[in-house]
Amino acid sequence: MKALVVYESMFGNTEQVARAVATGLGRHLDVELVAVANAPDTVSDVDLVVVGGPTHAFSMTRQATRVDAVSQGASHGTSETGLREWLATLPAGSRSLPVATFDTRVDKARHLPGSAAKAAAKVVRRRGYLLAARPESFYVADVAGPLIEGELDRAAAWGETLTSGRVVGCA
């Protein structure tokens, strides 16, 4: 069985989380990890898709928020392509391919509404895919990071739980 992990990262924190998720998945599956700018146009040859990106302005990034991140010193990713754009290009799903979503967000905004993972999960469901788990958030200390202590271990553990085959359709 094969999993595809697609991530968008501006400051490198989401990439670190994606790598940790891939490590957890890799304990049971073959895993391909790819930045969203290099993501494939189709997901028909995998058994699980995991997508993640940073939360900007309470949702998935937009070109304007990515440009703003670059002006704040972000050196990863591109301002042109993000998770929102990639998800919009996916062909309609068969409701049998499970997809899990995650995001990174600032710890002090933990209880504020809005989440890139929740927004991505809504798009995934509308595109006809099955949710593999509730959207998950991983926390950074500030916009540029670093990740809060323990988040990479939590991400690896979350990735491993995705291999259990239990689909939780929610969000």
Q: According to the model, what pLDDT value does residue 28 have?
A: 93
Q: According to the model, what pLDDT value does residue 170 have?
A: 42
Q: According to the model, what pLDDT value does residue 116 have?
A: 97
Read out DSSP for 106-131? EGGGTTSS--HHHHHHHHHHHTTPEE
Cα–Cα separations (whole angstroms), residue 110 to 21, 28, 65, 74, 144: 20, 31, 19, 22, 16
Region 123-135: mean pLDDT is 94
Whether residue 83 contacts residue 51, with contact meaning beta carbons closer than 8 Å, is answered with: yes
Domain 2-164 class? alpha beta
pTM of the model: 0.93
Residue 129 has pLDDT above 70, yes or no: yes
Identify the residue whose tokens are 């704040």. 72
36-47 per-position pLDDT tens digit: 999 999 898 999
What angle separates helix 151-161 from helix 13-25, to the nearest 10 degrees? 40
Residue 132 has pLDDT above 70, yes or no: yes
152-165 per-position pLDDT tens digit: 999 999 999 999 86
